[in-house]
Amino acid sequence: MTALLQAGPLRGEPEPAAEPPRRWRRWPGLHARSVAALAPVLVVVGLATAWNLQGWPGRVNDDEGTYVSEAWAMIFEHHLSHYTYWYDHPPFGWAQIAAYAWATNGFARDASAVLVGREFMWFVTMASCLFLFVLCRRLGLRRVLSAAAVALFGLSPLAIYFHRMVSLDNIGTMWLLAALMFAASRRNSLRAAFWSAVCLAAAVLSKETVALLAPAVIWVIWQHTDRRTRAWNLGIFGATCLMLLFGYPLMAALRGELLPGQGHVSLAWALWWQFGGRAGSGSPLDPRSGSAALVHFWLGLDPWLLGIGMALIPVALFVKRLRPIAFGLLIQVVLPLKGAYLPYFYVTAMLPFAAVLAGGVADACLAPLAGRARMRFAWGVPVLAAAAAFAVLVAPGWARALDRQSTVRGDVGSLAATAWVERHVPKSDVVVVDDYIWPDLKIAGLNPLWMWKVDGDPQVKRLDLPHGWASIKYIVMTSQASVMLNQLPTLMQALAHSVLAASFTQGVTVREVLPGGPASSASSSSSASSVPPGSAWAESLGGGVSHPLTPGPILACFTAGPWDHAAPGSASR
């Protein structure tokens, strides 16, 4: 009898219900079509972004080198920045770059430190594309149109230009898309609200200006939660986000740098400078302003993605599920009109919103056709018409731009100058450089000095330049640095007492500072060496780069150290 009872249920008793398969086992079957739609787009975007990653864009904005240098300082010097950290941005952004570089041994592996940061930007772009696709699906877009939105976001020449560059805006945008993705979750759960808050906090701690787009995330949560649980969802979201963001001012308070005071930087002063004290660049509507020139540059790279997105804002406001996205893009369009400072990378966060609106409005237009049995196949006509218009109007320009992006080497002069300095300059000599070159020379054991700190950091003047301009031995000049000389009087004095030592392509030169004054024009030209483009850099790839420091815990940076104090306003970035 015992054996019979153990063998199975008695006759007449119901069979036990079969255990449902686990969610991860059902995932491939449920999402196979989405994977099939997204995977080819990700492959194309990944290849387009990675091709010539080092060479293009060229050395056009040394914020790239700044963030990589700060990541290097976290790993090797255990400080929040390679110079005085003055709360210009929260450190979480370059802490992520540091984590990637430490995990992959990037600074010992790559020929250029900036390439380490650009590698990380590739992963950020791929993650952003994935989050964007899931967001589109949760907003109700068809798979094909969701994949099309990802293609617009990833293949626009404007997007590739900025996605390749090392910027905190790329990292912040990735976390913002993750926050929107969780906010639009179909499960309407407290867990989704919690993770949306975590991602939004990560976005703000990567790039503080992302906080201006928080209303769009809150609106998405409002739309995707039941009225009976909405207060709980928003409460969990708000409490989690504020608690995580509170860690930033808490860190400043523990370091004694929350409020302005004598002899130290402060978070309060930095926030005032970022949002109110910084000189404006004018309204984009003023053709003579710096903002108008920057917008013209953006549209010169690609007028289509931004233009289509902005044109569709009024239409999208009539589509309920697209209103938060349209509102998010509208915020970003309106804010620069007041004439405040317009950052170079500002456009980065606008791109995914424009791509979602393009796909979303197309989906909304096709919905009435696809919903009727008699017109089930009629929606293919406008799709084919849109594809034909894209092929005729947009694709040729994109193809030419992508071809240029895959072949132009804008880094040759900078890399060649770096290799020349490593071979010819004594390691103890002070070499003034931009932040593209700074980390490479620091890794090689030299004594580089970021040119913006020559006149912008009292501690640098006291420790590195005790004799003023005469303490500088060499200067590496680039075309970008030349237009900023009027803000650097000490560097201008050093240049007035310098002679040309080497010249390279793309306007990069190395000048030797002579305390006795500049040599005659004849001796200057005879002492200078002209290096063929890229030859010095190519010779340097064989090795010879020393790594005098060893990686340490990144979290050690968050304790105050001797590098971390200077007078308020001592930095100028």
Cα separation values, 11 from 1, 5, 7, 16, Å: 14, 11, 12, 13
Of the candidates 180, 191, 176, 169, the residue with the CA atom closest to the CA atom of residue 134: 180
**Residues 527 and 491 grouped into a single domain:** yes
Which of the residue ranges 198-202, 381-385, 533-537 would you say has the lowest mean pLDDT? 533-537
Contact 414, 503 (CB under 8 A): no
Residues 318-329 have a mean pLDDT of: 94
What confidence category does residue 408 fall into, taking pLDDT thresholds of 50, 70 and 90?
confident
Give me the pLDDT at residue 216, please: 96
> Whole-angstrom Cα distance, residue 141 to residue 510?
55
In a domain? residue 102? no
Domain that holds residue 321: 34-54+112-256+265-271+286-407
Query: Bigger pLDDT: 363 or 176?
Result: 176
202-226 pLDDT tens trace: 999 999 999 999 999 999 999 998 8
Give me the pLDDT at residue 390, please: 76
In a domain? residue 302? yes
Residues 105-131 have a mean pLDDT of: 93
> Whole-angstrom Cα distance, residue 372 to residue 374?
6
**Residues 128 and 245 grouped into a single domain:** yes
| pTM: predicted TM-score of the whole model, two decimal places | 0.85
In a domain? residue 451? yes
DSSP helix/strand/coil, 475? strand
**Structure tokens belonging to residue 63:** 């914020």
Residues 138-164 have a mean pLDDT of: 94
Cα separation values, 352 from 39, 107, 161, 437, Å: 18, 31, 14, 32
Of the candidates 411, 410, 405, 436, the residue with the CA atom closest to the CA atom of residue 159: 405
In a domain? residue 304? yes
Give me the pLDDT at residue 533, please: 38
In a domain? residue 4? no
**Residues 203 and 219 grouped into a single domain:** yes
Contact 500, 458 (CB under 8 A): no
Half-sphere exposure of 53 (CA within 13 A, CB side): 24
Which of the residue ranges 168-172, 508-512, 532-536 would you say has the lowest mean pLDDT? 532-536
Give me the pLDDT at residue 375, please: 52
Cα separation values, 238 from 195, 218, 230, Å: 11, 9, 12
**Residues 329 and 361 grouped into a single domain:** yes
> Whole-angstrom Cα distance, residue 360 to residue 369?
15
Query: Bigger pLDDT: 462 or 368?
Result: 462
List strand residue ranges (DSSP E) for 397-532, in order: 430-433, 447-450, 472-477, 498-503, 509-513, 529-530
> Whole-angstrom Cα distance, residue 550 to residue 556?
14
**Residues 382 and 434 grouped into a single domain:** no
**Residues 385 and 429 grouped into a single domain:** no
Of 386, 407, 428, which residue is a domain's last?
407
Give me the pLDDT at residue 562, please: 39
> Whole-angstrom Cα distance, residue 165 to residue 114?
9
59-69 pLDDT tens trace: 888 899 999 99
Give me the pLDDT at residue 554, please: 44
In a domain? residue 318? yes
**Residues 317 and 457 grouped into a single domain:** no
CB atoms within 10 A of CB 525: 11
**Residues 437 and 464 grouped into a single domain:** yes
**Residues 379 and 441 grouped into a single domain:** no
Contact 152, 128 (CB under 8 A): no
Give me the pLDDT at residue 33, please: 85
DSSP helix/strand/coil, 473? strand
Which of the residue ranges 22-31, 197-206, 233-242, 481-490 would you say has the lowest mean pLDDT? 22-31
DSSP state of 564: G
Of the candidates 127, 239, 141, the residue with the CA atom closest to the CA atom of residue 190: 239
DSSP state of 449: E
Burial class (CB in 10 A: 0-12, 13-18, 19+), 67: buried
Give me the pLDDT at residue 317, please: 93
**Structure tokens belonging to residue 479:** 């075309």
**Residues 231 and 248 grouped into a single domain:** yes
Give me the pLDDT at residue 25, please: 62
Give me the pLDDT at residue 44, please: 94
Of 375, 407, 439, which residue is a domain's last?
407
Number of domains observed in the structure of the chain: 2
Residues 336-347 have a mean pLDDT of: 90
What value does the mean pLDDT of the chain take? 83
In a domain? residue 392? yes
DSSP helix/strand/coil, 260? coil
> Whole-angstrom Cα distance, residue 484 to residue 133?
42
What confidence category does residue 388 fall into, taking pLDDT thresholds of 50, 70 and 90?
confident
**Structure tokens belonging to residue 510:** 């190395």
Give me the pLDDT at residue 229, please: 87
- Strands 447-450 and 430-433, bridge-based pairing: parallel
**Residues 149 and 50 grouped into a single domain:** yes
On the question of pLDDT at 565 being above 50, the answer is no
Tell me the β-bridge partners of 475: 432, 511
Of 353, 380, 407, which residue is a domain's last?
407
On the question of pLDDT at 8 being above 90, the answer is no
> Whole-angstrom Cα distance, residue 394 to residue 396?
6
Of the candidates 506, 510, 500, 511, the residue with the CA atom closest to the CA atom of residue 534: 506
**359 residue type, one letter:** G
In a domain? residue 351? yes
Residues 159-181 have a mean pLDDT of: 96
Give me the pLDDT at residue 19, please: 55
Which of the residue ranges 27-36, 87-96, 179-188, 297-306 would you say has the lowest mean pLDDT? 27-36
- Strands 498-503 and 447-450, bridge-based pairing: unpaired
> Whole-angstrom Cα distance, residue 363 to residue 365?
5
**Residues 383 and 436 grouped into a single domain:** no
Residues 80-89 have a mean pLDDT of: 90
CB atoms within 10 A of CB 495: 19
